[in-house]
Structure 1
Amino acid sequence: VQLLDFHHLACDEALRYFLSRFFLPGESQMVYRVLERFSVRYARDNPEDGLSSDQVLTLAYALVILNTSLHSQQIKPTDRMKKADFVDMCTKGGVPVGTSRLEEMFDRVHVGPFKPSFSAGDKVYGRLARDPKVIRGHAMAKTTPVDVVLLKQGSQF
């Protein structure tokens, strides 16, 4: 986090930039710790916003909840968070950000989800790094001779 620059970015834009660098873990305690680090850095980089790191943490968590609500296929379209619900959640959570700014954040999250921006090759190598059995087990049994040649040539097929 210390290597990233969040100066003059809205909180949702900084969070999108931050989360484009890795996959957010699924465990809530780990998500909390990641967002906590982000919040400290964002508050330090943007003192003109007047937000404490705790307030940024609350807003960042609300943005992650919003992102999940709007973009998860497991949530029915009728159950997705509405703009007024997001503004209300942030306001009741003690985030001193104006309604218009919160609505702008909602609109930007609505346009596209927070997601890592990796190339296809990065995804393959990341998966192999996490689970080397992918190379050994059934995955290698399904490869074709052409796949093996491309892999040996360093192709990111």
Structure 2
Amino acid sequence: MDKRQAIGSWLSGPRAAAEEAGVDFGYRGRQLGLPEEGPGSIARPGRRLGALAVDWGVCLLIAYGLITDGYGQATSNWALLLFFVMSVLTVGTVGFTPGKRLFGLRVVALETGTVNPLRALLRTALLCLAVPALIWDRDGRGLHDRLARTVEVRI
């Protein structure tokens, strides 16, 4: 192995080096029995972040318009509380928030396909902590999804 090849494998990361060595990781969602593309496939990070931005923006607007501290300043704590309530209620009943619906996403339970309110409560509480959402597995699920046994898919 020459120096350029060794440096290239180091820069591209361990996954690329393992794939070059012949390891087959498959596609995201394969281990969960989900399709590779189309409806029911794992939601991509860009769509997930876009849906999160829309949901957070809606909560900020509501907090700014309805819940102010007298000077017209909405606090991020109220927006976070609104985000929590909106996510638990919408994901726990219809499976998506307004942002997820706009981006064509839905949260489903791995076993049953529908998310019950208690599972939505756990998922949203962990999502609001932010750290579990930043730790992803090979299938692209955040720690909050793994612990709640849910997955975010395309519809």
* TM-score normalized by the length of structure 2: 0.30
Structure with more strand by fraction = 2
* TM-score normalized by the length of structure 1: 0.29
